[in-house]
Chain A
């Protein structure tokens, strides 16, 4: 009955091949129901607000379920359910990659997989070819199918992480809340994971899916038992179209090469590339003067070569330097200098409370709650942190994010939002520096800020008296949380030790 219905609607485009695809999709698409908790960076000691949501996922080889990172971020409880089985099974996050919005779930109960097969990954679909989107979007509880054509294949922002851009495929099928994580299929194969769209008031019929090169990269990355972020060459470059510039650099006017204009210190290329180096080819692919290379016959930005690599792999560059060509192998690692701009989901917010003063590291999450009240100094610290390489001096700026009103700190309330420079004469480079510096005081602690703000002066005996009172008043169970919960930050500190 259903087959007949579909056949009428889709006879011209799909014919009967679709029947097998729908059958496979129905067997292997799962509804993912999640109860999650979102940390409140305004009240970092609170466990956060609880909310529930629904997304989709699909089974791939090896009894693994693929879904979006944003479906399961902050999850406290996850259940999965299949179309053919009314029972709900508990699931756990095995790996999560926030930078490319993918996650892998596992289900312990083998009964869940009864009657399932798995979906195979395909390639990049052709422009204008038809794809089907499976999921559980709003409007009902059963599996939904929508269909559209591939509209565009391009780099696009992955909004979940707040800072990443990767290859994404735009389709004109409706993608609505609840579609997230579901498979997009063509000719019985998965060609993408539905993950983001535009609201109706911005654009119509614009949905995005994560293409298979990104999914494959994620699956390969976790083979060693952990997810290492995307790597980055961590340089800035400039196209070389101007003849006078080319002549100055001693280059022929052959339309090849881009010039390195900045090398991020502590990044992959630090120590390997210099400002003024001209990049002529990458892994054997000639670089055009606009920064593009040909990959599988299609022009892509040279970064795409790097995108497909993994931590500790190398990229081979042909470099024009000092009038001759050299070959430079750059070992790749993630660009930790940009991690400040990455929205954090799992790790609990870190803070130090002292006499009602709340200290927090500067993160995208903190900026989001301070946005309206942040002064120019703080806004500029945030926006220029990576480009000005401020992380070399201060890997993690510490902000006096709030002053919880108490009789002991009436004169300090205007200082909220200031950037901490030093405490008791000690420079504050990360949140970890705060507690030892405060403990180093005699009877008074002096906290100095960047710019020409007044210092905050606190008396130890007053703080000792006020802290239990403030904690009781504001329902704070712990006076500080400084352990590094984020693997990303842990790696940052690791690389620093390595340097020493």
Chain B
């Protein structure tokens, strides 16, 4: 009698498993990306290529969702069916490096025919369980039980300010194609695992509602991205500080810097204001609000994920003890209009080679090329301009053009050890971008080219006609295909 029950139990379980396996087969694909980033130190060339492999989630519309990190700096992306190894090239339809999400479209629309795709599931709470899916070599699904440990705003690989993320605990065996893995609950997509530490067996996942918000933005045909507030703020727990800034009895955070071009700045927020609520959501002293989905959550989610670019922003602030309402429009200008962009994927760095002097336009990507300790190893003036650009480079149209290196040649004798120098002007004309530098240089046919830098040695001089005569020789000697990319 007992033996019967056991056999029956086994039979039932395997039937259910088979059904779920079918489900799974129609919902994920392998994604193979060939990656080849540009060499920031030799901006005319690319670095050695390498491959990244992950699992993409097929969406109901026949498109594939992956993390942006999987396809950043790609030369090619391919999809592969789990069971059959049938392949198809894919294009990136939309990508958001900050939110770390991307949508791929197979080049052949019929490739994913028969795939049902996975619908988005609800938001998870700490303590919930879900599954992380991997693929075996033979195409069968490997499902690992995952526990949601935390739900909170934290750093994303390419976003310091951070978005909401799940902290998950899961034991993942080593398998191919694990760079990006889906988080599934009851056959619905509830997140994408973006980081995993094998030692602690903990990882972080992009929550379903973030994915939902991203997909909605993609669906309307014009991708706008996640807005930013454009303020620095500090907690207001300290009663002495509350008294000093005349904050009300409880709640609110203190604004310590406002980017005048950002959402908050254009709504009229000022340094020293106490933000009491945003869009009707009250903030506590630590900058948390009560989210209907997640409970107590950091302001980052309130101002970056809930609203869309273009939607109305409402602030209740206390200024000098008086409450006032301020209104504005959410946008990304504080970030997109920065003089020195943080991110630079998929695009060739701008440069200009003249008489062996290599000029580049500063980006965060250039600085990060100096390695993990870039703040110590990169030229300190460049580190300063980038890290404190709100203070040092408030004008978004004034880009940082700098001498990154000198390719030794006879005409630049004596200049060859200079690098990391910020260019101020050429023959007295202020330099505001690399493109404008090119115009200025092109206009000088003969005579001196006087480059003035913000730091020692201050000035370097070349002879314009001599430079012109030597350009081709230098280009050939160093094997540079193009002497400028503006």
Contact = CB atoms under 8 A, between A and B. Distances in A.
Nearest to A289: B414
B450 A380 contact: no
Given A262-B456, A262-B458, A457-B243, A452 B237 contact: no
A244 B466 contact: yes
Nearest to A377: B388
Nearest to A462: B240
Given A380-B384, A383-B380, A452-B256, A457 B457 contact: no
A457 B241 contact: yes
B461 A248 contact: yes
Interface residues of B, number: 37
Most buried by B among A239, A259, A455: A455
B109 interface: no
A452 B244 CA distance: 17
B236 to A, nearest CB: 9
Which one of A239, A244, A411, A462 has the highest number of Cβ atoms from chain B below 10 Å of its Cβ?
A244
B445 to A, nearest CB: 15
A454 B375 contact: no
A236 B414 contact: no
B234 interface: yes
Contacts of A379: 375-376
A227 B404 CA distance: 44
Interface string A231-245: 000001011111111
B458 A458 contact: no
A444 interface: yes
Interface string A31-59: 00000000000000000000000000000
B48 to A, nearest CB: 31
A380 B383 contact: yes
Given A245-B414, A245-B460, A377-B388, A455 B244 contact: yes
A261 B450 contact: no
B234 A411 contact: no
Interface string B450-479: 100001111111110010000000000000
A261 B241 contact: no
B387 interface: yes
A456 B243 CA distance: 12
Nearest to A408: B240
Given A262-B458, A452-B256, A455-B244, A242 B412 contact: yes
A384 B254 CA distance: 31
Interface in A236-287: 236, 238-245, 247-248, 259, 261-262, 275-276
A244 B462 contact: yes
A242 B415 contact: yes
A454 B463 contact: no
A1 interface: no
Contacts of B238: 411-412, 457
Interface on chain A toward B: helix, strand, loop, or mixed SS? Answer: mixed
Interface string B238-281: 10110110000000001011000000000000000000000000
A312 interface: no
A379 B377 CA distance: 12
Contact of A457 (B240, B412, B448): B240
Contacts of B390: 452
Contacts of A458: 240
A444 B242 CA distance: 12
Nearest to B241: A457
A452 B458 contact: no
A241 B413 contact: yes
A444 B240 contact: yes
B75 interface: no
A446 interface: yes
Given A452-B232, A452-B256, A446 B411 contact: no
Interface residues of A, number: 37
Contacts of B232: 452
Contacts of B461: 242, 244-245, 247-248
Contacts of B234: 453-454
Contact of B411 (A236, A244, A376, A453): A244
B375 A376 contact: yes
Contacts of B237: 411
A234 B394 CA distance: 33
A240 B456 contact: no
A260 to B, nearest CB: 10
Interface string A455-475: 111110010000000000000
A41 B455 CA distance: 33
Contacts of A239: 414
B380 A380 contact: yes
A387 interface: yes
Contacts of A247: 448, 461, 463
Contact of B244 (A238, A262, A376, A457): A457
Interface string B394-426: 000000000000000001111100000000000
Interface string B215-249: 00000000000000000101001101101100000
Nearest to B464: A244
A384 B454 CA distance: 13
Contacts of A262: 456, 458
Given A454-B256, A455-B241, A459-B240, A275 B458 contact: yes
Contacts of A240: 414
A455 B234 CA distance: 10
Nearest to A290: B414
Contacts of A242: 411-415, 460-461
B398 to A, nearest CB: 20
Given A245-B414, A411-B237, A446 B460 contact: no
A479 to B, nearest CB: 20
Contacts of A276: 459
A446 B387 contact: no
Interface string B429-457: 00000000000000000001010000111
A244 B448 contact: yes
B246 to A, nearest CB: 12
A241 B414 contact: yes
A247 B411 CA distance: 13
A326 to B, nearest CB: 21
Given A240-B414, A241-B413, A376-B375, A444 B457 contact: no
B272 to A, nearest CB: 10
Nearest to A443: B243
B148 to A, nearest CB: 29
Contacts of A384: 380, 384
Interface in B348-391: 375-376, 380, 383-384, 387-388, 390-391
Leading 3 A-B pairs by shortest Cβ distance: A241-B414, A411-B238, A454-B234
Given A377-B388, A453-B256, 17 more contacts: A236-B457, A242-B415, A243-B413, A244-B448, A244-B461, A244-B466, A248-B448, A259-B457, A262-B458, A376-B383, A380-B383, A387-B455, A412-B238, A446-B244, A451-B391, A454-B234, A458-B240
Interface of A: 236, 238-245, 247-248, 259, 261-262, 275-276, 376-377, 379-380, 383-384, 387, 411-412, 444, 446, 451-459, 462
21 contacts: A238-B457, A242-B412, A248-B461, A261-B456, A261-B458, A261-B459, A275-B458, A276-B459, A377-B388, A379-B376, A387-B455, A411-B237, A411-B240, A444-B243, A444-B244, A451-B391, A452-B257, A454-B256, A456-B241, A457-B240, A457-B244
